Chain A
């Protein structure tokens, strides 16, 4: 997954895509994941960090992350590759 590097993420979870003009709000976990993506972390790195920090089953985490990434993709915040 590649994040669109021009997107702006504020500390309070407001995300602005300067190419489309879309804006979104994220919860704390969402900010954490997007910030990790922006800093170049891979999906496996992100999974590891989240699994360590939260009490979550591997399968459930996998499903949640996939849902989240497909939302990000749908809204042009990330692309494949």
Chain B
């Protein structure tokens, strides 16, 4: 069968110690038996490793940071579209999703498809909204509150027992054992990610995750459950194994069918010793361990492209249990000419 030629732009080429999902997404799409894909990388930093991984990323363009505003992003996408004729864009960062959702209609008018959650779906699953989310959809979530100042933090912590989790608006989380530690993390997180900083009850248990893809009509197209086996000091899975935990998949179906989630998502869960599942976070995009799902038989990135292009996609019904991923780092040797070309022209 001749593969359909398409051009897909992806962000998240930062294949670093806290990796973005771009590279495994590119890998899944490149390995598709249905699509012959030209992958266009969209990068924020000149040293995002994916830019130089030419096996997976055919061309890269620098784009402005989300802090520059959505208008600057749209102007850059227009310039890129004039050269690349993109069929589809997959944003892979939490912090950029707001801009992409807001720009969705304008991007679509350029002839570029998107497959994103709605603004309401995106907002209601924020860490800071998790308690309301838990009530609304009948799922277990840890107690959590927003802190906008040191005073807030101290007041909130009066009703918590230590340790507590102190979390950034978009990324990063620390376990604090005292008010002083919580204050130090508050300063660090607010400087990096802005306000609010989230204080969350610490739930002890095993960290398990689900990657999923919703079609926007309440159907789960793909869902794979994973147990983290090796966790870095940044809390990222550096190794994991697919598991057959029906209750995790049932929870995923419950959330996607109730919210009619559109696009990729990740549920970060804790399984307590008394076997209760708590939702710690709902990430509104594909996670960096997506290639495990591909390796276990569910090419989620390919299914996402099909959904975006309006093709019929049959939900996956199974995956291989006991498939592991083991991440590694690798030094690439790159000529400085490549780097200088990127820095001076904004593309490579």
Residues in A whose Cβ lies below 8 Å from that of B227: 20-22
Can you name the residue of chain A whose Cβ is closest to the Cβ of B225? Answer: A21
Does A6 count as interface, using CB distance less than 8 angstroms?
yes
* Nearest chain A CB to B267 CB, angstrom units: 15
Would A19 and B245 count as touching, CB distance under 8 A? yes
Would B245 and A20 count as touching, CB distance under 8 A? yes
Would B322 and A6 count as touching, CB distance under 8 A? no
Q: How large is the interface on B (under 10, 10 to 19, 20 to 34, 35 or more residues)?
A: 10 to 19
Residues in B whose Cβ lies below 8 Å from that of A22: 227
* Nearest chain B CB to A73 CB, angstrom units: 13
**Considering the chains assembled together, what is the distance between the CA atoms of A16 and B227 in angstroms?**
12
Residues in A whose Cβ lies below 8 Å from that of B271: 20
**Considering the chains assembled together, what is the distance between the CA atoms of A20 and B243 in angstroms?**
6
Chain A 17-33 residues near chain B, CB threshold 8 A: 18-22
Residues in A whose Cβ lies below 8 Å from that of B226: 21
Does A61 count as interface, using CB distance less than 8 angstroms?
no
* Nearest chain A CB to B273 CB, angstrom units: 10
* Interface residues as binary, B203-227 with A (CB distance below 8 Å gives 1, 0 otherwise): 0001010000000000000000011
Residues in A whose Cβ lies below 8 Å from that of B229: 21
* Interface residues as binary, B308-325 with A (CB distance below 8 Å gives 1, 0 otherwise): 000000000000011000
Does A8 count as interface, using CB distance less than 8 angstroms?
yes
**Considering the chains assembled together, what is the distance between the CA atoms of A19 and B249 in angstroms?**
11
Would A19 and B322 count as touching, CB distance under 8 A? no
Does B47 count as interface, using CB distance less than 8 angstroms?
no
Chain B 207-263 residues near chain A, CB threshold 8 A: 208, 226-227, 229, 240-241, 243-245
Would A8 and B322 count as touching, CB distance under 8 A? yes
Residues in B whose Cβ lies below 8 Å from that of A8: 322
**Considering the chains assembled together, what is the distance between the CA atoms of A16 and B244 in angstroms?**
11
* Nearest chain A CB to B338 CB, angstrom units: 40
* Nearest chain A CB to B324 CB, angstrom units: 9
* Nearest chain A CB to B63 CB, angstrom units: 37
Residues in B whose Cβ lies below 8 Å from that of A19: 243-245
Can you name the residue of chain A whose Cβ is closest to the Cβ of B208? Answer: A21
**Considering the chains assembled together, what is the distance between the CA atoms of A8 and B241 in angstroms?**
14
**Considering the chains assembled together, what is the distance between the CA atoms of A49 and B243 in angstroms?**
33
* Interface residues as binary, A28-62 with B (CB distance below 8 Å gives 1, 0 otherwise): 00000000000000000000000000000000000
**Considering the chains assembled together, what is the distance between the CA atoms of A6 and B241 in angstroms?**
16
Can you name the residue of chain A whose Cβ is closest to the Cβ of B226? Answer: A21
Would B245 and A16 count as touching, CB distance under 8 A? no
Can you name the residue of chain A whose Cβ is closest to the Cβ of B273? Answer: A74
**Considering the chains assembled together, what is the distance between the CA atoms of A20 and B271 in angstroms?**
9
9 contacts between A and B (CB under 8 A): A6-B244, A8-B322, A16-B322, A18-B244, A19-B243, A20-B243, A20-B245, A21-B229, A21-B241
Closest 6 CB pairs of A and B: A21-B227, A21-B243, A18-B244, A18-B321, A21-B241, A19-B245
Interface set of B (CB-CB < 8 Å, partner A): 206, 208, 226-227, 229, 240-241, 243-245, 271, 321-322
- Beyond A18-B321, A21-B240, 8 additional contacts (C-beta under 8 Å) are A6-B244, A19-B244, A20-B206, A20-B227, A20-B245, A21-B206, A21-B241, A21-B243
